[in-house]
C-alpha cells in the first residue's frame, strides 16, 4: 500500500475517533489535532514548482536541474552539448577535407596532377610520380591512356592500392618490381 499524507491523516482521524468514543484522549487524538504540515507547491498549481520538486515536463529530473535552466525554452546544458557536437563535426570535416586534398601523388600545387574520378580519396599519379618508367616514347594522347589505365588497375597483392599508387608510394610491396614491369609493358604495347 502506498502511504500518502491524505491517507495517513485519514487513518489518524479514524484512530482518534475510536479513542474519543472509548473516552481516552491519547496519542492519536493529539496527533490528529496537530496542524498539518504545509504542503509544498504542486507542479499543477500557479507558478513554477519549487526547485526540488520533479520537473513538470516529465523528464524525471528535479526542476532545478531541468527546466529551471531553460531561459526562453532552451537549456544551457543542451546548448553546450550542441556546441560541442557542432565543433567536433566541423573538426572531423576539416580533417577529412585536408586528407582528401593532401597526400602523396595528390598535390594540388603540382601542375601535372589532375583529379581522377576512380577511387575516392586517391590521387591521379602521373609520369613525374613514376620515375622508374620512361614515358618519353609516347605521345601525349598515348601517355594519358596508359596513365588512366594504371591509375584504374589495382595491385594484386591485396593492398587496395592502384597500380600507379603502389609503384609511387609503397616500396615494401612484394609485387612492386612486377608492377613496374607491367607498366613498362603497357608503355611498350602502346608505343607500338
Q: Which domain range does residue 132 map to?
A: 107-192
* Burial of residue 153, with CB atoms counted within 10 A of its CB: 0-12 exposed, 13-18 middle, 19 or more buried: middle
Q: Give me the mean pLDDT over the 46-68 stretch.
A: 79
By the 8 A CB rule, do 8 and 16 touch? no
pLDDT at 119: 42
pLDDT at 166: 87
Give the pLDDT band (50/70/90) at residue 9.
confident
C-alpha cell belonging to residue 138: 609516347
**Residue 86 included in any domain:** no
Tell me the longest C-alpha to C-alpha distance in the chain.
Answer: 127
What's the 3-state SS for 120-150? CCCCCCCCCCCCCCCCCCCCHHHHHHHHHHH
Q: Give me the mean pLDDT over the 77-102 stretch.
A: 82
**Residue 50 included in any domain:** no
CA separation for the pair 156, 173 (Å, rounded): 10
What's the 3-state SS for 43-76? CCCCCCCCCCCECCCCCCCEHHHCHHHCHHHCCH
**Residue 183 included in any domain:** yes
**Residue 143 included in any domain:** yes
> Structure pTM?
0.38
C-alpha cell belonging to residue 112: 601535372
pLDDT tens digits, 123-178: 788 888 888 888 888 889 999 999 999 988 888 888 888 888 888 888 888 888 99
CA separation for the pair 183, 2 (Å, rounded): 84
CA separation for the pair 85, 76 (Å, rounded): 14
Q: Give me the mean pLDDT over the 88-111 stretch.
A: 67
Q: How many domains would you assign to the chain?
A: 1
By the 8 A CB rule, do 167 and 183 touch? yes
**Residue 2 included in any domain:** no
CA separation for the pair 169, 4 (Å, rounded): 76
CA separation for the pair 29, 133 (Å, rounded): 108
By the 8 A CB rule, do 19 and 26 touch? yes
**Residue 54 included in any domain:** no
Amino acid at each position: 500500500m502506498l502511504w500518502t499524507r491524505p491517507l495517513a491523516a485519514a487513518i489518524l482521524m479514524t484512530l482518534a475517533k475510536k479513542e474519543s468514543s472509548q473516552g481516552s484522549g491519547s496519542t492519536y487524538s493529539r496527533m490528529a489535532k496537530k496542524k498539518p504540515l504545509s504542503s509544498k507547491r504542486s507542479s499543477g498549481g500557479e507558478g513554477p514548482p519549487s526547485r526540488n520538486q520533479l520537473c513538470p515536463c516529465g523528464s524525471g529530473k528535479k526542476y532545478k536541474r531541468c527546466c529551471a535552466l531553460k531561459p526562453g525554452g532552451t537549456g544551457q546544458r543542451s546548448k553546450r552539448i550542441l556546441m560541442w557536437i557542432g565543433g567536433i563535426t566541423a573538426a572531423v570535416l576539416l580533417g577529412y577535407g585536408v586528407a582528401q586534398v593532401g597526400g602523396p601523388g595528390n598535390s594540388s600545387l603540382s601542375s601535372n596532377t589532375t583529379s581522377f574520378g576512380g577511387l575516392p580519396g586517391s590521387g591521379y599519379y602521373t609520369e613525374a610520380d613514376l620515375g622508374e618508367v620512361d614515358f618519353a616514347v609516347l605521345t601525349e594522347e598515348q601517355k594519358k591512356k596508359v596513365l588512366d589505365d594504371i591509375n584504374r588497375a589495382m595491385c594484386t597483392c591485396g593492398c587496395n592500392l592502384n597500380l600507379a599508387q603502389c609503384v609511387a608510394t609503397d616500396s615494401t610491396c612484394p609485387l612492386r618490381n612486377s608492377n613496374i614491369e607491367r607498366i613498362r609493358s603497357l608503355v611498350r604495347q602502346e608505343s607500338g
